[in-house]
Amino acid sequence: MPNGLLPLEDIVEVGRNAETGFVWLKQKKAKEHKYKKIGKLVWYDTEVTAFVENRRMKKLTGVKSKEILIWVTISDISISDTECKKINFATPTGLSRSFPVSAFEEEEEEEKK
């Protein structure tokens, strides 16, 4: 997964259950982040949880993407192709979209260049 996928700040707690793959991250306050390369606004709650597998985060909570005028819950993130060029985002209803993995690389590093 790209480093800039979860741009959380002021993290107060991180945990992982190695047997189940369950991971949680808690930050002091919710955060909105705009991915400039794809023009998407994403909201991260104070607690983000997921079951993490190789190239996949499933049963994700605490992440929403702004689509037109509404916030849409993101429940699954995966990189399915073998070359790792596209990342897929799915909602609980099964709708999904794909974007280039490069859009989620840490933007701070790019701004320094």
Q: How confident is the model at residue 107 (pLDDT cuts 50, 70, 90)?
A: low
| Region 53-67 average pLDDT | 93
pLDDT for 7 equals: 87
- pTM for this predicted structure: 0.85
pLDDT for 31 equals: 93
What are the C-alpha distances in Å from 27 to residues 11, 34, 46, 56, 89? 4, 18, 5, 22, 22
What's the total number of domains in the chain?
A: 1
Place of tokens 């849409």: 72
Lowest mean pLDDT among 14-18, 69-73, 103-107: 103-107
Contact between 31 and 11 (Cβ < 8 Å): no
| Average of per-residue pLDDT values in the chain | 88
Taking 80 as the threshold, does the pLDDT of residue 112 lie above it?
no
In which domain, by residue range, is 107 found?
A: 3-112
Q: How far is it, in rounded angstroms, from Cα 25 to Cα 8?
A: 9
